[in-house]
């Protein structure tokens, strides 16, 4: 069965903090390493360990880069405009030595440039400059589960849209500096892999808490919250709170994770905490850089738990209006245009996108576009449909849905483990389906028919 994940972002959120928190919550480290090993990039090493922040033991996720790709642009002294080798002083009057080997919040997508030319300051390393299409190709070149791949693409699309707006350029002219660097690509892919591994189907983020003041980037000094982060919270309706901390607590990638996960903003009135994961950041501020990830289980109003472990199978019925169906007919567009429109809709958080062959006026063959969306995403998705297709009208209506409980387990096959999804029917019986990406990887590695591997995984 899918789980409810509550992210407590009261001390900020970034890519590496999220990866660490999800690992601490119980995500499979070996599965993450296996997935990352298939990314068509090199020049890094993954280091996972423990750190103590404010007396609290946390998981630490670090992407150690080789000399060619190393990035010192985000050291505290550099970020706050201090001289090389200087110490930075926090608001509480405590000095913190400049750190050279640990970088938190590497994902400064706001340091982008229309032409891809870096303007680094102080002799700092210049990184490769990649556009959204380059990041998408890297994601597609890896062996990721479909849900993880889709989530990673959504994060890239959200970041690209935010940068395009910040710099007033088309999305395809955006060139990232830091998000194009290896460590940020790893953060994006890792979050997607781990959310899929944990089978998260509901994310709750009541608020994002950012700092204030200014921070240095490739173009100079910019205000906090940085433009890309503000564009993301604005476009996706994310609740934002400004704290008394001087500095950046929420990075654009952190905000994009919350947006791409389609996070809800209201915690249940009462809930049970099943498990807690703590992810460490690496910047030193007046509050500890810790992201908390909690499995929670809502408690019903009658005092009983809605979903106690071992309870009888139930059906999850979404409230009326929770899902919206968008539909239009198109008879004058090429297949390439239709495919591109579908890609943009999926990247913009459409739940499902379908093309259905139909007959239109005067018996002409046409395509019907069917999109399933959350209510808060409808306006944005309709704008994409009008921009990317030739339709002049869109139909929409609210729908109810019935969703079976599901869970994931790993089964052994003669060639290695395979994940499979198991759903529980209303009568208590179950049916299962192997994870395609796991079965495909074994079939390719062992030179076996895919169906043979899937049959073995079904038992």
Residue with tokens 């429109």: 341
Q: Report the distance separating Cα 237 and Cα 243, nearest Å.
A: 19
Region 13-39: what's the mean pLDDT?
Answer: 95
Distance between CA atoms of residues 194 and 61, nearest Å: 13
- Tokens 């990638």, residue located: 253
Q: Which of 245-254, 280-289, 364-373 has the lowest mean pLDDT?
A: 280-289
88-118 confidence digits (pLDDT tens)? 333 333 333 323 333 344 444 343 433 333 3
Which of 195-199, 280-284, 395-399 shows the lowest mean pLDDT across its residues?
280-284
Structure tokens at 129: 């400059």
Under 8 Å between Cβ of 188 and 35: no
Q: What are phi and psi of 195, to 5 degrees?
A: -65, -40
Each residue's pLDDT tens digit, 420-445: 888 888 888 988 899 888 899 899 98
234-276 per-position pLDDT tens digit: 999 999 999 999 989 999 999 999 999 999 998 888 889 999 9
Which residues are paired to 403 by β-bridges? 316
Average pLDDT over residues 321-344: 89
**Which residue has tokens 């996960």?**
261
Categorize the per-residue pLDDT at 310 as very low, low, confident or very high, splitting at 50, 70 and 90: very low
Per-residue model confidence as pLDDT tens digits over 181-203: 788 899 999 999 999 999 998 99
């Amino acid at each position: 069965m899918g789980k409810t994940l509550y992210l407590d972002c009261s001390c900020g959120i970034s890519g590496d903090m999220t990866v660490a928190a999800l690992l601490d919550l119980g995500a499979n480290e070996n599965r993450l390493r296996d997935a990352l090993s298939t990314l068509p990039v090199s020049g890094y090493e993954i280091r996972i360990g423990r750190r103590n922040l404010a007396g609290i033991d946390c998981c630490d996720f670090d992407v150690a880069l080789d000399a060619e790709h190393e990035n010192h642009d985000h050291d505290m002294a550099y970020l706050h405009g201090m001289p090389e080798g200087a110490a930075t002083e926090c608001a509480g009057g405590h000095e913190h030595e400049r750190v050279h080997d640990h970088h938190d919040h590497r994902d400064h997508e706001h340091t982008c440039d229309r032409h891809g030319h870096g303007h680094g300051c102080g002799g700092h390393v210049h990184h490769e400059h990649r556009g959204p299409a380059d990041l998408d190709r890297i994601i597609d070149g890896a062996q990721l589960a479909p849900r993880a791949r889709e989530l990673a693409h959504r994060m890239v699309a959200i970041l690209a849209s935010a940068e395009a707006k910040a710099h007033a350029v088309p999305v395809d002219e955006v060139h990232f500096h830091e998000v194009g660097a290896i460590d940020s690509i790893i953060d994006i892919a890792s979050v997607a892999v781990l959310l899929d591994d944990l089978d998260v189907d509901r994310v709750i983020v009541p608020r994002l808490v950012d700092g204030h003041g200014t921070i240095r980037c490739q173009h100079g000094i910019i205000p906090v919250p940085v433009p890309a982060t503000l564009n993301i919270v604005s476009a996706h309706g994310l609740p934002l709170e400004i704290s008394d901390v001087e500095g950046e607590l929420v990075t654009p990638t952190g905000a994009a994770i919350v947006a791409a996960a389609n996070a809800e903003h209201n915690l249940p009135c009462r809930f049970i905490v099943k498990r807690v994961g703590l992810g460490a950041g690496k910047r030193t501020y007046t509050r500890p850089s810790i992201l908390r990830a909690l499995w929670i289980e809502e408690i019903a109003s009658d005092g009983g738990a809605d979903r106690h472990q071992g309870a009888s199978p139930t059906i999850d019925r979404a409230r009326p209006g929770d899902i919206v169906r968008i539909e239009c007919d198109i008879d004058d567009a090429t297949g390439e245009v239709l495919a591109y429109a579908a890609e943009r809709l999926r990247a913009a958080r459409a739940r499902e996108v379908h093309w259905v062959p139909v007959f239109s006026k005067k018996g002409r063959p046409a395509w019907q576009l069917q999109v399933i969306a959350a209510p808060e995403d409808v306006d944005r998705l309709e704008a994409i449909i009008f921009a990317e297709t030739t339709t002049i009208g869109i139909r929409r209506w609210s729908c109810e849905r019935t969703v079976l409980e599901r869970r994931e387990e790993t089964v052994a096959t003669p060639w290695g483990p395979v994940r499979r999804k198991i759903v529980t029917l209303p009568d208590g019986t179950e049916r299962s389906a192997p994870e395609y990406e796991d079965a495909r990887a074994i079939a390719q590695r062992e030179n076996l028919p895919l169906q043979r591997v899937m049959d073995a995984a079904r038992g």
